[in-house]
Amino acid sequence: MVRFAVVLLFAGVLAAGSAWAQTPKDQDQLPQSEEQSQTPKPQAPAQGTEQTPVQPPAAGAGEDLTEPPPPDTGDETDTEDSSPDDLSFGEIPDVTVIELTVDIARRSIDALALVRDKYKDANLENYESLQDFVDQTDEGKRFEADLKAAGFNTVDEWNVAVTSVSFAYSAITDNLTDDLTNQIAEIEKDTALAQDMKDRMIKGLKAMIPSENNKNVVQKLIDDPAYSEKLKLLAEEGE
């Protein structure tokens, strides 16, 4: 079974891997019964009465307790971990990325540095999405105004841009591409997943593998002393 991993920037915002995969879970062991079976003690024979020897059970009769238990076939139900089919299709996020330019990447990181400090006490994690924060609070309206001042028309537009930067940064600094590729292969081989869920999970993982253009753009920011430290905010947001 695989786990679809999601990296969040602020609340409800997508960005990393651990990725989206899950290694197979150890199966639960069946609990042992607390009640131990007890063998009744035979009554002592009356004095002078001949006792008939107890005969061993005939071959094939009853259970041979000396035999080892049969091997685990893996067919037992894992009661703690839900099966892949229990995962709701709506719980798998739809990942959107864009092709970056150096200008877009810089502006998205500048905006991240601004709002991260300015709205650090806004409890963004209490909202389903950044747009909910914007729609429901006055502080959210100011948040949106700051992003528009940075050149983004909407909160979602900025979020897609900074998420695209984050994927490329993680691929460069953490070398996640091979890991994501392995996770995609694991999902493709999983016969327990419904096909529509499998397709969406694979689509999301593929979106997390940045294009060469995006890696080149972010590498330029990494090499720029003015942005090398700001980019580290992306790793802090993923913690």
Mapped onto helix, strand or coil, the DSSP state of residue 8 is strand
Which pair of structure tokens corresponds to residue 173? 């600094």
Which pair of structure tokens corresponds to residue 146? 């700051």
Predicted local distance difference test score (pLDDT) of residue 44: 53
Predicted local distance difference test score (pLDDT) of residue 55: 53
Q: Which residues of 153-166 are buried (b: 16+ CB within 10 A; e: fewer)?
A: eebbbbbbbbbbbb
Give 14's strand partners: 8
Predicted local distance difference test score (pLDDT) of residue 71: 56
CA dist., res. 135 & res. 224, Å (int): 36
> For residue 48, is it left (φ>0), alpha (ψ between -120 and 50) or beta?
left
Locate the domains of the chain by residue range. Answer: 97-237
Q: What would the pLDDT profile of 155-212 be if each residue is shown by its tens digit?
A: 999 999 999 999 999 999 988 888 899 999 999 999 998 898 889 899 989 999 999 9
Predicted local distance difference test score (pLDDT) of residue 109: 97
Contacts of residue 213, defined as CB under 8 A and 6 or more positions apart, other chains included, come to 99, 100
Enumerate residue ranges in the chain where pLDDT < 50. Answer: 1-37, 48, 57, 59-61, 63, 65-66, 74-86, 89-90
Q: What predicted TM-score, i.e. pTM, was given to this entire model?
A: 0.62
Mapped onto helix, strand or coil, the DSSP state of residue 192 is coil
